[in-house]
Structure 1
Amino acid sequence: MIRINLLPHREAKRKQKQAAFIAMLVLGGLLGVAVVLLVGGWNASRIAIQEQRNAALSTENAELDKKIKDIATLKEEINALKSRQQAVEDLQGDRNQPVYLFDELVRQTPEGVYLKSFEQSGQRVVLNGYAQSQERVAELLRNLSGNSPWLERPELTEVKAATLTQNKLVRKAVEFTLAVAIKRARDTEEAADGKKAPLAGIARTEAKAGENKP
């Protein structure tokens, strides 16, 4: 017996296809939302971790900046203490400067030179005196510039002809004014140490050479 289906099967299939398409769209949308939520949550967690790291780095940087400031403050205090100590040592050394000055002036002043006066200002001394000739003045300058361990950098500021009267005798002379620097005690000690070091090296070299001789 032949059966004939008179129901609208095409419309039913069409509705089934539409329902399946809608279901696929809904499922795809749900999957997309889930993926977006998962990616957003992962990114949020990574951002939170990075922010925690940044906060830790900022804290460490602040502590390092504080330590650097403390170190800079300590260095300033150390430098200030060194400056004070150096000032105290200079004051103690400067107490003997008049003795060194008089002794050096006696040693370095050649014959034919008469010192009339001198004035000290800080580490500079201005000398005023008379000499038999300009050659005597030049000799005094050479002595002060090269032979004195306590005096250095002499500068002749004035030289002129003068007339001296002694026991009704009139003599021609040269009046001069010069300035010279006084070394501090620490400067002379450093210069002495600098001279000792090369001499010690030469002595060691000579000793080694003597050992190597047959």
Structure 2
Amino acid sequence: MILINLLPHREAARKHRRELFQATMFASFLAGLVVAGIIYMWLQNRIADQQGRNGFLQSEIKVLEGQIKEIATLEDEIAALRARQKAVEDLQADRNLPVHLLNELTKQLPEGVYLTSLKQTGQTISMQGVAQSNERVSELLRNLSNNTPWFTKPELIEIVSNNVSLSPRDQRRVAAFNLRFQLLRASDVKNATNPASAPAGASVGK
């Protein structure tokens, strides 16, 4: 017996393929939504973790900032204590400055030079006197500049010729001078004589 299909099989096949395509597309869409949801949840978890780390870091940074401020305060206090300690040490060492001043002057005064006035203002020493000649005054300036670690920056302010009467018949021509120089502190002298123990960049002017 011969069966003849009179139904539109081509139309049915196209409909079947269309329905299959639509089902596939819908399934792909659902799968895409699932994958996108998984990725979104994963990213949200990562963001939440990073935000948690950021919050922890911020709190630790605040703690460190507080500690840094405390350290800075301690460093300031230590610096102030060191400054006070140095001031006390300088005062103790400077008690002997008049002794060093007079002792060094007796060593550095050339023969034929006599002092008439000596005055100290801070670390500046003003000195007046007479000398047998200008050469004696020049020798005194060289001695004050080069031969002692206690004096520095000698400066001749004035020198004039003058007459001194040793007797009614004995008149001597002398050079009256006025000069000044700096008296160094004991700590400066120590640093100048021991450069290895002086702070970096410290120097004593001559």
Quote the offset at 1:193 in angstroms.
4.7
Distance in 1 separating the partners of 2:48 and 2:185 = 66
State whether structure 2 residue 139 is matched by structure 1 residue 139.
yes
Q: Paired residue for 2:57? A: 57
Distance in 2 separating the partners of 1:148 and 1:12 = 123
Paired residue total: 195
Distance in 2 separating the partners of 1:159 and 1:185 = 31
Quote the offset at 1:105 in angstroms.
1.8
Quote the offset at 1:191 in angstroms.
4.4
Residue 148 of structure 1: SS of its match in structure 2? coil
**Structure 1 residue ranges, 4+ long, deviating more than 6 angstroms after superposition:** none
Percent identity reads 48
Q: After the TM superposition, which residues 51-90 of structure 1 pair with which residues of structure 2 at under 5 Å, given as runs?
A: 51-90=51-90
Q: Paired residue for 2:119? A: 119
Distance in 1 separating the partners of 2:184 and 2:54 = 58
Quote the offset at 1:66 in angstroms.
3.2
Residue 2 of structure 2: SS of its match in structure 1? coil
Distance in 2 separating the partners of 1:181 and 1:29 = 95
Q: What RMSD, in angstroms, separates the aligned Cα atoms of the two structures?
A: 2.4
Quote the offset at 1:28 in angstroms.
0.8
More helix by share: 1
Shift in CA distance, 8/194, structure 1 to aligned 2, threshold 3 Å: closer
TM-score normalised by L of structure 1: 0.78
Q: Paired residue for 1:108? A: 108
Quote the offset at 1:167 in angstroms.
4.2
Summarize deviations over 1:113-153 as a string: whole Å, max 9, x none: 11121221221211111111011112212222233242233
Instruction: Name stretches of at least 5 consecutive residues in structure 2 with no aligned partner.
Output: 197-206
State whether structure 2 residue 182 is matched by structure 1 residue 178.
no
